[in-house]
């Protein structure tokens, strides 16, 4: 990544009950997820990037655009920053129709082809049938899709999303996630996405920044950060890894697909994926068990040869998190400490990982 291309954020923000200290170099493509508990500073970080909050000593640069540099006395106000912002709650202008909301930014844009960009955003988010309606008559999911399209209409050089799904129920989230995924795949706009949902991290993150207590605890490609055990990013029931793979073949008799990834292959539920298609697999630590010898008389279909890398304590004192090396990939397994002792597991030991279930994402 060239330093002139990416996203550079260095800032410190001090509030009476809170301090944020961040120094990040982020890629200029894909979705960067800012993940952390509430109060970790992720929303403040986003607001500082947008200029809605003014940090004390800061450097914010998006590609070649310098937005904030106290060393050089540069501070661009929010309305002159080339960005789109999606707020947590649907924040449509209640006094304007959906169409007027969508074209609000457009009317203030000097960019060529902005009208085309809006049409594409309307199509991408499937809201063409809503334009004559009034915000008050839309469902929560529809409102948020309109808000996203409105932010996209200006073809921003950076899209900021502050927990865009947090105010929605499960069904509405499932309704919007595919739109976000298609945005990631079809638009070349870098996005900063704030969330505290492990599910959204697994589905959307290309790059992951873990925030806690106003500091960056870890950041890097999502796959690497999620597989860390020294400071597990996602603890508890949601701990697990991401694998990027490709569909190798389909078994139509049993409705299964085989997905190859660097280090092995897994049989997953056939969701009408085409052979050759790229997929993301999410394997949770609680769905992996470890055996010393390969067992054939088991209902579990996926067995991978692996090697123990490290073993660390899990949240509960009875459990341990085992990091397994499987070719170029890494798996996390949650087992009891009694099992670690009984199987005499230690770093370097060759084992078999039995994988009970795999979630196929996209």
Partner 1 sequence: MNIPLNHEAWEAIALTLELAASTTMILLVVATPLAWWLSQTQSRWRAPISALATLPLVLPPSVLGFYLLVAMGPQGPLGQLTQALGWGVLSFTFTGLLIGSVIFSLPFAVQPVQHAFESMGQRPMEVAFTLGAGPLDAFFSVALPLARPGLITAAILSFSHTVGEFGVVLMIGGNIPGSTRVVSTQIYGHVEAMEYAQAHWLAGCMLVFSFAVLLALSMMRKRVGRVLP
Site for partner 1, rule CB under 8 A: 50-52, 77-80, 83-85, 87, 91, 93-95, 104-105, 108-109, 136, 150-151, 154
Task: Write down the least CB distance from residue 182 to partner 1, Å.
Answer: 22
CB hemisphere CA count around 105 (13 angstroms):
27
Question: Is the CB of 87 or the CB of 261 nearer to partner 1?
Answer: 87
Q: Which is nearer to partner 1, 96 or 177 (by Cβ)?
A: 96
Shortest distance in whole angstroms from residue 73 CB to partner 1: 21
Residue closer to partner 1 (CB basis): 150 or 184: 150
Burial 324-344 (b: 16+ CB within 10 A, else e): bbbeebbbbbbbebeebeeee
Q: Which of 68, 13, 67, 71 is nearest to 44 (CA)?
A: 13
The minimum distance between CB 106 and partner 1, in angstroms, equals: 9
C-beta closer to partner 1: residue 83 or 285: 83
- Using CA atoms, how far apart are residues 88 and 280, in angstroms rounded to an integer? 26
Give the shortest CB-79-to-partner 1 separation in angstroms.
5
Pair 320, 337: CB distance under 8 Å? yes
First to last CA, the chain: 26
Task: Identify which of residues 106 and 361 has a Cβ nearer to partner 1 in the complex.
Answer: 106
Residue 9 C-beta: closest distance to partner 1, Å: 17
Task: Tell me the C-alpha distance between 293 and 351, whole Å.
Answer: 7
Structure tokens at 144: 């948020």
Instruction: Give the C-alpha separation, 33 to 24, whole Å.
Output: 13
**β-bridge mates for residue 331, sequence order:** 324
Q: How far is the CB of 92 from partner 1 (least distance, A)?
A: 8
CB nearer to partner 1: pick between 115 and 347:
115
Query: Do strands 158-162 and 83-86 pair parallel, antiparallel, or not at all (unpaired)?
Result: parallel
């Amino acid at each position: 990544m060239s330093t002139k291309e990416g996203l550079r954020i260095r800032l410190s923000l001090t509030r009476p009950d809170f301090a944020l200290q961040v120094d990040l170099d982020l890629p200029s493509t894909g979705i960067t997820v800012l993940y952390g508990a509430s109060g970790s500073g992720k929303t403040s970080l986003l607001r500082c990037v947008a200029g809605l909050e003014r940090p004390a000593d800061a450097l914010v640069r998006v590609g070649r655009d310098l937005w904030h540099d106290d060393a050089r006395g540069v501070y661009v106000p929010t309305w002159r920053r080339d960005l789109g912002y999606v707020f947590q709650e649907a924040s449509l202008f209640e006094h304007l129709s959906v169409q007027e909301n969508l074209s609000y930014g457009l009317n203030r844009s000097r960019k060529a082809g902005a009208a085309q960009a809006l049409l594409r955003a309307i199509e991408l988010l499937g809201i063409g049938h809503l334009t004559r309606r009034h915000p008050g008559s839309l469902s929560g999911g529809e409102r948020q899709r309109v808000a996203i399209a409105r932010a996209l209409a200006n073809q921003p050089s950076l899209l900021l999303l502050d927990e865009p799904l947090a105010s929605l129920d499960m069904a509405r989230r499932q309704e919007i996630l595919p739109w976000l995924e298609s945005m990631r795949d079809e638009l070349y706009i870098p996005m900063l996405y704030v969330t505290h949902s492990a599910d959204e991290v697994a589905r959307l993150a290309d790059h992951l920044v873990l925030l806690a207590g106003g500091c960056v605890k870890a950041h890097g490609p999502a796959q690497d950060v999620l597989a860390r055990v020294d400071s597990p990013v996602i603890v508890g029931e949601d701990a697990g890894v991401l694998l990027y793979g490709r569909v190798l073949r389909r078994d139509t008799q049993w409705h299964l697909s085989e997905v190859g990834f660097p280090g092995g292959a897994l049989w997953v539920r056939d969701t009408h994926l085409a052979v050759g298609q790229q997929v993301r697999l999410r394997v949770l630590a609680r769905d992996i068990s470890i055996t010393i010898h390969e067992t054939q008389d088991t209902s579990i279909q996926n067995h991978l040869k692996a090697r123990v890398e490290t073993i660390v304590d899990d949240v509960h004192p009875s459990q341990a998190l085992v990091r397994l090396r499987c070719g170029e990939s890494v798996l996390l397994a949650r087992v009891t400490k009694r099992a670690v002792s009984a199987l005499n597991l230690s770093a370097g030991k060759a084992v078999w990982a039995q994988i009970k279930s795999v979630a196929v994402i996209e």
